């Protein structure tokens, strides 16, 4: 790598300020890869300075943004070169840097050629437009005849317009009446809007009341859930008692059978007792009669 530095001179040996210098590697040679680019720009005194890798380059220069990019020549930077070197040390110049006046003259000539081409195109366009104007003139004459026919038709239309204007006047009167009705309707709408606002306030109040009642309902639902759980518990207790009662019912059935058997025995004993009582009464009557007879001395 070397430092390329120096002052860029034009053909008249005057320094060139603000010129762009560009190195483009032509092939893979040395440390530079093909198509790699290195750029620099001269200062106000034409001075330039940049680092450059070893390689073979095409060197280009552009004096100002409006000028063409010119090939200065080929440059070879070998690995043996070290330190600093100028463009003259590494380039084989094929084209000197042009004088600014010559560059401007070439640019002016190019602009003149472009203007000459534009003038030819303009002349061709003028001839074309002249033919077009002639065609349009004939078309205008044809349309003039159409306009005359339309004028006659317009007179009839004008009469119709007068009639329609009278109709429009009548309709405007109707519109005025309708506007009066609209004002009345707007007044009614305003009153209804006020009523709607009042009802909206009432709805808001009722909504707040509904929210409060919903809160009460939620509390009642919680209470119902609690009571439902209690009912479920009691239902379980009832089922247990039902089973107990059912068991006792079986015992009662057995006891009922025993009672009926005892009742039958009691009835038998009652019959026996009644027989004894009848016999006893008979013996008592007999004894009483005997006693009476004895007392009477019979």
- Please, what CATH class does the domain formed by 2-98 belong to? mainly beta
3 state DSSP class of 97: coil
In this prediction, residue 103 carries a pLDDT of 46
In this prediction, residue 196 carries a pLDDT of 87
Kindly provide the b/e burial profile for residues 50-64, where b requires at least 16 CB atoms within 10 angstroms of the residue's own CB.
eebbbbbbebbbbbe
Q: What is the pLDDT of residues 46-86, one digit of tens each?
A: 999 999 998 999 999 998 888 888 888 888 888 877 788 88
Alpha-carbon span 58 to 238, nearest angstrom: 112
In this prediction, residue 43 carries a pLDDT of 95
In this prediction, residue 72 carries a pLDDT of 84
Residue 105 pLDDT level (bands cut at 50, 70, 90): very low
How far is residue 43 from each of residues 8, 23, 65, 105, 234, measured CA to CA in Å?
A: 10, 18, 15, 24, 107
Give percent of the chain above pLDDT 70: 91
In this prediction, residue 99 carries a pLDDT of 47
In this prediction, residue 7 carries a pLDDT of 93
In this prediction, residue 85 carries a pLDDT of 87
pLDDT at 16 over 70: yes
How do 84-85 and 20-25 pair as beta strands?
Answer: unpaired
pLDDT at 19 over 90: yes
Residue 125 pLDDT level (bands cut at 50, 70, 90): confident
How many CB atoms lie under 10 A from the CB of residue 85? 18
In this prediction, residue 106 carries a pLDDT of 47
Q: What is the pLDDT of residues 235-256, one digit of tens each?
A: 888 788 878 877 777 777 788 8
């Amino acid at each position: 790598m070397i430092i390329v530095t120096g002052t860029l001179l034009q053909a008249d040996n005057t320094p060139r300020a603000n010129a762009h210098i560009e190195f483009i590697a032509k092939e893979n040679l040395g440390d530079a890869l093909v198509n790699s680019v290195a750029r620099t720009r001269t200062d106000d005194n034409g001075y330039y300075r940049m680092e450059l890798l070893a390689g073979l380059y095409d060197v280009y220069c552009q004096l100002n943004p409006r000028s063409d990019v010119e090939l200065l020549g080929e440059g070879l930077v070998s690995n043996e070169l070290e330190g600093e070197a100028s463009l003259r040390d590494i380039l084989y110049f094929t084209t000197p840097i042009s004088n600014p006046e010559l560059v401007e003259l070439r640019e002016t000539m190019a602009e003149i050629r472009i203007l000459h081409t534009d003038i030819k195109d303009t002349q061709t366009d003028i001839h074309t437009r002249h033919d077009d104007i002639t065609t349009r003139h004939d078309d205008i004459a044809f349309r003039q005849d159409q306009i005359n026919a339309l004028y006659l038709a317009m007179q009839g239309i004008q009469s119709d317009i007068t009639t329609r204007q009278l109709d429009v006047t009548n309709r405007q009167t109707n519109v005025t009446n309708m506007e009066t009705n609209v004002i009345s309707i707007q007044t009614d709408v305003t009153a209804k809007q006020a009523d709607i606002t009042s009802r909206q306030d009432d709805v808001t109040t009722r909504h707040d009341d509904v929210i409060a009642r919903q809160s009460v309902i939620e509390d009642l639902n919680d209470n119902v859930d609690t009571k439902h759980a209690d009912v479920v518990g009691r239902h379980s207790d009832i089922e247990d008692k039902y089973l107990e009662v059912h068991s006792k019912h079986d015992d009662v059935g057995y006891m009922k059978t025993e009672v009926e058997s005892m009742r039958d025995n009691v009835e038998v004993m009652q019959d026996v007792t009644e027989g004894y009582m009848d016999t006893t009464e008979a013996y008592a009557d007999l004894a009483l009669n005997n006693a009476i007879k004895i007392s009477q001395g019979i």
